[in-house]
Amino acid sequence: MVIITHNINVVLCVTMSATVTILTPILHLVLASSQVCVLVTSAMFWKFDLHTSSHLEALLDKEDVTLTELMDEEDVLQECKAQNRRLLLFLCQDQCMQELVRMITTEPPAGGEETKRFKYPNIACELLTSDVGVINDKLGNEEPLLETLYAFLEQPSPLNPLLASFFSKTIGNLITRKTEQVISFLRRKEEFLSLILKHIDTSAMMDVLLRLISCVEPPPLRLETLTWLNEQKLAQRLIELIHPERDEERQSNASQTLCDIIRLSRDQAGQLQEISQPDPLLTVLESQECVEQLLQNMFSGERTESCIVNGIQVLLTLLEIRRPVVDGVMDAQGFERSYTVNSSILLAIQPHLTHFHQLLLEPPKRDPMLTALGVWEDPLGNTRLHVARLVASLLYTSSSSHAVVAQELCRLNTMDVLLDLFFKYTWNNFLHLQVELCVAAIIRPCAHEMRLQEKIKPQEDASQEQDLTETPASEPPVTSEDTAHNLMVTNLFQHCHLVQRILEAWEENDKMQSEGGMRRGYMGHLTRIANTVVHNVEKGPVHTQISSLITDLPEDYRGRWETFVDQTLSETNMKNTIDLVGTGNPRPSSEDDMESPFPKELTIQQAFSDYQIQQMTANFVDQFGFNDEEFTDHDDSIGATFDRIAEININIDAGQDSANTAVFDACSKERIQPFDDDEEDIWEEKEINYATQTKSRNR
């Protein structure tokens, strides 16, 4: 409500939600004056467009108004999203829609500032993707408009990155909103996928592919689209782009696209299970033939860091055994989503482990690197770091082909090379973490394997009871996986000399620090490795074997190890103890992440990527942002909140007087001041003679 008084010169704005008791004295105030003009409007003032017509409306009244004139108005986007009827009728004219599409697909004239050059293309893209039904219908149902939009892909490389982003956003919105029409149009274009891959060096083209994979619904149509992409050999053609002869940008984008396809396909596998059909793209990517083709490309010709690193990133994605809970999706047991590694992936990697091992010894040549501690003539490099990550992932897989990989790693003595790099590159904590994960994978199982064992344990118990009734003296069978795991443990302690390396590195660090030198950068990870060994000597699936291997150490090292564990390591753990305030539960570093499964490090690195590629469905736009209910009256939902509060069980022992209670009482007396009853109440109603005040002013 707006009340304007002529004599008092007061403007007071009150919404219709104000109570009558507040309005009554105000109306009395106004009516008490002799010369009064009262203007009352409702809170629906804006809804019915009773405000003064904007300049946009004036432009629309002109017969010769142009599209660019409307686009120069600041509120054109706001009016479009508010579905201004006159504006939408103007924009949906054939010539206007053609002009809008032309703006986002044609390079603007050269000259001037970039921001001004791309002003109209940017506004045109926003108008076309404003998610207004009439615009979506016009653009998705008109074949000439789609042809003009598609013609952007037929331009020679390289594409303008900004225009490519406009194209990607527009076509992506159409795939989501006009799915059947757009998919049908694209399937009639035989060169569509070839053109997308031709421009894959522009990152916006990756988004188009991901939209086709993730935003097509319902599931039968999605399966049909995936089958079409698979028939076009999308996976194989992306793998062909990861080759030493391709430019680095093309390799990187192809690798990222493959990784995103794998994750999206695995996350959305449940949708296709409803129609009992596997994801055709994922099936091909996990096949042994496809992985072998990727590995052949990586090691064909000159070995470049870009090709090897991008190829390993795809392999790491295929070997992922669990994913972080970014969008709140968990499995039936309440754990993070987990996946089973296909045995064909390991069978394809196993023959090439020799090449990966050789990369640790002779990586692609790198220039010296300047660091805060001096110049590194032989830096570790991204290649060797990714190989270490790959070895750690292979050690944590629980596939039936794991034994083959473990035996090959032992034959190559890869862990010995990784430990050499661990101590050589003192300050590379990225490498230290990967080597620590490798050691932990060998001497203790990861959490996901323990959960799998729990699932099959009842079946094993039942079968063992049956066997005992038939053959009481039978021994449990020893599987090839157990043999390979024991072989890895033996290799780590006997051939890699893990205990001896820990003792010697610790003593060298103590000597250096005593002489005034710096503490070595790997000491934190070395402490965790030592604690892992000690923990698994006391308990664990291979504690008997580890105890035996430590007992078989030379007497000198065995005595030094016992002294180290009882004194040095124990004192270090006490220094690293974290005492949470008020809990009284110290947590030594020996317990850090003891039960944490391997891919924690991968979880951290992939969290942002997972956020970006979280499941994009057809209703993603509807779910984005705020719900309309958040802006409505919540009176009807108040009861639900109190219903939940009533379910909370609060146990308070009123008879217990603690020190915290006394402190709280003291603070309350000091901080809270009592009210003085003699003070004047500023809210007390008083009679005011406005006429007297008016006369005094007139004088």
pLDDT band at 662 (very low <50, low <70, confident <90, very high): confident
Which pLDDT score, from 0 to 100, does residue 301 have? Answer: 82
Outline where DSSP puts E strands in 403-446: none
pTM summary value: 0.73
CB 496 within 8 A of CB 490: no
On the question of pLDDT at 12 being above 70, the answer is: no
Angle among Cα 315, 321, 322 to the nearest 5 degrees reads 120
Choice among 333-347, 512-526, 545-559 with the minimum mean pLDDT: 333-347
Q: What is the pLDDT of residues 228-255, one digit of tens each?
A: 999 999 999 999 999 999 999 999 999 9
Angle among Cα 611, 257, 433 to the nearest 5 degrees reads 60
Return left, alpha or beta for 301; rule: phi > 0 is left, psi -120 to 50 is alpha, else beta. left
Q: What is the mean pLDDT of residues 109-127?
A: 87
Residue with tokens 């661990």: 422
pLDDT band at 681 (very low <50, low <70, confident <90, very high): low
68, HSE (Cβ side, Cα atoms, 13 Å) = 6
On the question of pLDDT at 291 being above 70, the answer is: yes
Which pLDDT score, from 0 to 100, does residue 318 have? Answer: 94
The set of long-range contacts for 424-433, using a CB threshold of 8 Å and a minimum separation of 24, is 425/380, 426/520, 426/521, 426/522, 427/371, 427/373, 427/521, 428/380, 428/385, 428/521, 429/521, 429/522, 429/525, 430/385, 431/380, 431/384, 431/385, 431/388, 432/521, 432/522, 432/524, 432/525, 433/525, 433/601
Which pLDDT score, from 0 to 100, does residue 473 have? Answer: 40
CB 525 within 8 A of CB 589: no
Q: What is the pLDDT of residues 611-655, one digit of tens each?
A: 544 444 444 444 444 444 444 444 444 454 445 555 555 555 555
CB 231 within 8 A of CB 283: no
What angle, rounded to 10 degrees, do the helices at 161-177 and 179-187 form? 120
pLDDT band at 217 (very low <50, low <70, confident <90, very high): confident
- Whole-number Cα distances in Å, 309 to 96, 142, 239, 306: 47, 44, 13, 5
Q: What is the pLDDT of residues 486-532, one digit of tens each?
A: 899 999 999 999 999 999 999 999 999 999 889 999 999 999 999 99
Question: How many Cβ atoms from other residues are within 10 Å of residue 589's Cβ?
Answer: 19
> What is the dihedral angle through the alpha carbons of 210, 297, 410, 450, rounded to the nearest 10 degrees?
10
Q: Give the distance from CA 18 to its chain's centroid.
A: 45
pLDDT band at 551 (very low <50, low <70, confident <90, very high): very high
DSSP 591-658: GTTTT--TTHHHHHHHHHHHHHTS---TTHHHHSS--GGGGS--GGGHHHHHHHHHT------TT---
Which pLDDT score, from 0 to 100, does residue 667 have? Answer: 67
Choice among 51-55, 141-145, 553-557, 644-648 with the minimum mean pLDDT: 644-648
Which pLDDT score, from 0 to 100, does residue 452 have? Answer: 39
Q: Is 385 exposed, middle or buried (0-12, 13-18, 19+ CB in 10 A)?
A: buried
pLDDT band at 64 (very low <50, low <70, confident <90, very high): confident
Among residues 368, 504, 505, 376, which one has the least CA distance to residue 428? 376
On the question of pLDDT at 559 being above 60, the answer is: yes
pLDDT band at 471 (very low <50, low <70, confident <90, very high): very low
DSSP 539-595: SSTTHHHHHHHHHTS-HHHHHHHHHIIIIIIHHHHHHT-EE-TTT--EE-GGGTTTT
Which pLDDT score, from 0 to 100, does residue 659 have? Answer: 63
* 118 against 366, higher pLDDT: 118
Which pLDDT score, from 0 to 100, does residue 445 have? Answer: 58
| pLDDT, averaged across the chain | 77
Which pLDDT score, from 0 to 100, does residue 171 have? Answer: 96
pLDDT band at 483 (very low <50, low <70, confident <90, very high): confident
Q: What is the mean pLDDT of residues 105-127?
A: 88
Measured in degrees and rounded to the nearest 5, phi and psi for residue 371 equal -125, 175
Structure tokens at 634: 């919540």
The set of long-range contacts for 368-375, using a CB threshold of 8 Å and a minimum separation of 24, is 371/427, 373/427
Q: What percent of the chain has pLDDT over 90?
A: 52
* 293 against 396, higher pLDDT: 293
